[in-house]
Structure 1
Amino acid sequence: MLKSVVAALSLSAGFVAAVQPGAAEDRSYNGTWSVQLVTESGLCDSRYTVALAIRDGDVRLAATGEGGATVSGRIGQDGSVGLNVRRGSASGAAQGRLQANSGSGTWTVSSLCTGRWTAQRRSTRVAQAD
C-alpha cells in the first residue's frame, strides 16, 4: 500500500505550491506530463514515474487505475502548481514550478518520505481518462 500511495503522490509530488484560489487559467501548460520522483529520505521506493494531465489549469492523473489515488490541483499563470493527492488515509503534497516544457520541485508523503521531482511535457494533447 505504501508503494501505491507514493506512486500516486508522485503524481502530485511534482506539484503543490502556493496557488491562490481563483487564479486565472493558463492554457500554455496543457498536455500530458511525465513526472519522475526521487526519494531522498524515508520509507518509500527510490524512484517513481507517473503521468499527469493538465487542461486549462487543472491537474489530474493521465490514466485511471493509479492505485485508487485521487489528484486535484491548479496551475497558476506563473507555472506554480497547487496539488493534493490522496489514497485511502494517506495524503501527499508537492511544490515547485513548471516552465514551457519542464519543471521541478520537492514532495512529501505524510511523514513517511520526502524527495524531489522533475517533469517533462510529453504531449500538448491531454489524455482522455477521468
Structure 2
Amino acid sequence: MSKLVAVLALGAGLSSAHLQPAVSREGGNFNGAWSVELVTESGICDSRYSYSVSVQDGQVRLISSADRATMTGRVGTDGTVGLNVSNGSASGAASGRLEARSGSGTWKVSPLCSGRWTARRQTTRTAQAE
C-alpha cells in the first residue's frame, strides 16, 4: 500500500483535464522535472513521501519508481492537474494546480488515507566554458 501512495505522490501534480500542450499563464510551459512531496493528513499511510515526475507536452510519467504501479495523467493548459494511480487492487486519485514553478493539491487512496501534495519545478543548471 505504501508503494501506491508513494507513486501517487510522484504524480500528484498531474492531470487529464485538457488535451492541449501544458502552458502556464505567464507564457512558459510545465515541461520538465518536478519534485513532489506528499503529506498524509489522515489514515494509515506513511506520513511523508518525496519523488520526481516528468511532464512532457502535458503527459506525465514517473522518473523514479521501484514498484509495478501504473499512472495516467495530464497537466492542462491552465495548470489544472489530475491523476489516477493503481497498484494491484489499490487505486488512488490526486488533483490540484501547477503554476510556473510550484503547485499544490490533494490526494486520496480511498478509504485508507488522504492528504495534500506540493510540487516544485526542478531547475537545470548548465556550466558554461569560457
TM-score, scaled relative to structure 2: 0.84
Aligned to 1:103: 103
Q: Which amino acid aligns with 1:60?
A: R
Tell me, what secondary structure is at the counterpart of 1:67? coil
Question: Counterpart of 2:37?
Answer: 36
Deviation by residue 1:64-93 (Cα, 9 ceiling, x = unmatched): x43111111111100001211111111110
Cα pair 1:32 1:54 within 8 Å, conserved: yes
Residue 84 of structure 1: aligned partner: 84
Q: Quick one: distance in 2 between partners of 1:41 and 1:26?
A: 31
Report runs of 4+ in structure 1 exceeding 2 Å deviation. Answer: 12-16
* 1:4-52, Cα deviation, whole Å (9 max, x unpaired): 1111121233345x714xx211250000100000000000000001111
Give the structure 2 partner of residue 7 of structure 1. Answer: 6
Q: For residue 29 of structure 1, give the secondary structure of its aligned residue in structure 2.
A: coil
2:17 matches 1:19: yes
Q: What residue number does 2:26 align with?
A: none
Structure 2 gaps of 5+ residues are: 24-28, 125-130
Q: Work out whether residues 9 and 85 of structure 1, in 8 Å CA contact, stay in contact via their aligned partners in 2.
A: yes
Equivalents in 2 of 1:49, 1:112: separation in Å? 19
SS of the aligned residue for 1:45 comes to: coil
Structure (1 or 2) with the larger CA radius of gyration: 2
Aligned-residue Cα RMSD (Å) equals 1.9
Code of the residue aligned with 1:7 in structure 2: it is: A
Unaligned runs of 5+ in 1: 125-130
CA distance, structure 2, for counterparts of residue 123 and residue 58 of structure 1: 19
Counterpart contact for 1:14–1:106, Cα < 8 Å: no
Give 2:52's aligned residue: 51
